Amino acid sequence: MCDETASLGSCTLPGDAMVEILLRLPVKSLLRFRAVSKSWYGFLNSPDFIQMHLRHSQQPLHEKLLRVSNRGPRDTPTISFFSVDPTVTVNADDIDDGVDGYKNNNDLYSSSVVDLPFPSSPDDEVRIVGSCNGLLCVHFNRTSNIILWNPATRKYRFLGPPDNSVSFYCDPFFPYIMLGFVPEINDYKVVKVPSSSRKHVDAKVWVYTLSSDSWEEMGAVYLLPKGGSAVNLNGCLYWMSYNCDNGRDIVTSFDLYKQVFGQIMVPNSDSITDFTIKKLVVLKGCLSMIIYSENGLIVDHYEVWMMNEQQGVSWTKRVDFSPFSKLARPVGSWRDSEIVFGYPNGLSHELLSYNPFTKRAQSFQRRSSVGGFKVINYVESLESVEGS
Amino acid sequence: MASSTTGEKKILTLKGGDNEEFILEESLVLQSELLKNMVKEERVSSIPLPSIKSKTLVKIIEYLKKHAELTPSNKEEFKNFEKEFVNVVLEELLDITVAVNYLKINGLLEFCCQAVADRIKDKSVEAVRKIFRIESDFTPEEESEFRKETPEAFEGDLDDTTN
């Protein structure tokens, strides 16, 4: 703490208290307060402070969700960030099937819409494909351009394609792109996996490293990504894949530091049928899978399986529960142990955060949206896209 | 002074900066890491706190009492109390924050820091300098550079007041 005190310069407050206050400020205020004095400028720009601020934003209380809505396929998406007061929850049993009788906590969340600061041609389609430590990875479907973007600082970086890039662009379908943090080297990597079948032998896996601003080609994996967001946990990426040879679902992992692929079998659940959907999330710091069957449109049952790494790599079923709405689908997880569900309610789409361990729930964001929407985890940070 | 007791409860005297004395149960001050260590190691019964104004000390003791009475059933009431607690002029809130930081009352410190952050987040650069008595060492040219570099950080209704 001594260094921080020194670098903040003299002021009416002791340095450590001043740091505690600054950690609790939004990025917009911090960018402005860099102009207070040279010592504040140096301190607020220091990697130590940026790290401390990020850790503070990552506390469950300060986590945000980002909702991306597309009105049409060719439409610039509307991106809104919002956070919800996590202390206001109700017992899930009090939520009726129709959810209409349940008070919607519209006054509990704050939300803001952001503009995309980078140029995008009107006929291109923008997808947010990854989110990590306040950085978003954006993919343009038509041009195949990839951008790393910090919406809080409004800084972005265009990830130029590799020099010898014939195979870089040869994926006929939208590639599966993921963003992950590598704690061992304090760096970010973007992984691009072909989403077409093995017959397209030219399609390769590419890995981008932010600090060196370069792409590296890797051997192809013959497993097709199934869509749905990848999970970034402890320096590894995990995503659901499909093994074309045996027709089975499998979890593919990629160790971002060692740059090696791995495979994890899906849980051995009795309820797995042809209609089973498997969604990867992080709960209580563990890789977790929500399994549910969609018979027609109706869901009757969810299972939560968690990875237990102490006894090798094995799945344990931790909870199962019935849906609050037969149309609810898990769209992600946040705040350590809560699952976010999305479901249609009349003409609007609603979100519900549910803690399967305490059975407490919170409903929010009733918003009419004609097109689809995607919910992405987000924390506000000062993290740089420059790769230092 | 020997340690005094009434019944089983130990009593402690805190002396504010203006020599005003506050007599309270020792169990109450154990929420402060600093006072806890003093009481445990030196077995004192009177602690001078010359750097803390009596007015500030009154507020902090009020908080300690309320916090000690906190139960799951009066959570809502405590929340309202906390809201009122920081509803003071900014200068007074900073005095409380500095004192709480010195006394190491961790939960309250976090709460005060968040309250200060909420109060200053929409302040102008000039206001922040005045509030924390910081001299600017940037030239006007350098300052206008910041506005050019991150114009959005200077957008909106910025508050020039220091309270």
Nearest residue in chain B measured CA to CA from A27? B153
- Identify the bridge partners of residue A227 per DSSP, sorted by sequence position: none
Domain ranges for chain B: 11-120, 125-154
CATH no., domain A54-378:
2.120.10.80
Residue numbers in A near B116 (CB within 8 A): 21
For residue A14, the model assigns a pLDDT of 82
Indicate yes or no: CB of A14 within 8 angstroms of CB of B146.
Answer: no
Beta strand A126-132 with A78-84 is unpaired
> Are the beta carbons of B133 and A20 separated by less than 8 Å?
no
Q: Domain-by-domain residue ranges, chain A?
A: 15-45, 54-378
Interface test with A, best of B79, B138, B148, B157 (most A CBs within 10 A): B138
At residue A328, the pLDDT reads 85
Using a CB-CB cut-off of 8 Å, the residues of chain A touching B97 are: 13, 17, 21
Query: Looking at the complex, does the CB of residue B150 fall below 8 Å from at least one CB of chain A?
Result: yes
Which of B97, B143, B153 is closest, CB to CB, to A13? B97
Instruction: From chain B, pick out residues whose CB is under 8 angstroms from the CB of A23.
Output: 113
B9: closest CA of chain A, how far (Å): 33
- Alpha-carbon distances of A263 from A198, A236, A238, A296, rounded to whole Å: 17, 12, 9, 30
Q: Which residue out of A25, A36, A89 would a mutagenesis test of the B interface target, given it has the greatest number of B Cβ atoms within 10 Å?
A: A36
Which chain A positions have a beta carbon within 8 Å of B123's beta carbon? 29
Question: Which amino acid, A87?
Answer: T
* Model confidence pLDDT, tens digit, residues B57-79: 999 999 999 999 999 899 889 99
Nearest residue of A to residue B148, measured between CA atoms: A32
Task: For residue B41, give how far its alpha carbon lies from the nearest alpha carbon of chain A (Å).
Answer: 25
Interface test with A, best of B78, B125, B143 (most A CBs within 10 A): B125
CB-based contact (8 Å) between A33 and chain B? yes
Residue numbers in chain A where pLDDT is lower than 50? 1-6, 96-107
Question: Which chain A residues have a beta carbon less than 8 Å from that of B152?
Answer: 28, 31, 154
Specify the pLDDT at position A101: 35
Q: What is the homologous superfamily of the domain B11-120 according to CATH? A: Potassium Channel Kv1.1; Chain A (3.30.710.10)
- In three-state secondary structure terms, B99 is helix
What pLDDT sits at residue A128? 87
Q: What is the mean pLDDT of each run of 10 residues along chain B (163 residues)?
A: 55 88 89 89 84 93 93 90 94 95 93 95 95 92 91 89 86
Rounded to two decimals, the pTM is 0.86
Among B122, B124, B150, B154, most A C-beta atoms within 10 A, so best to mutate, is B150
Q: Which of A195, A83, A177 is nearest to A130 (CA)?
A: A177
CB–CB contacts below 8 A, A to B = 85
How far apart are alpha carbons A194 and A177 in whole angstroms? 9
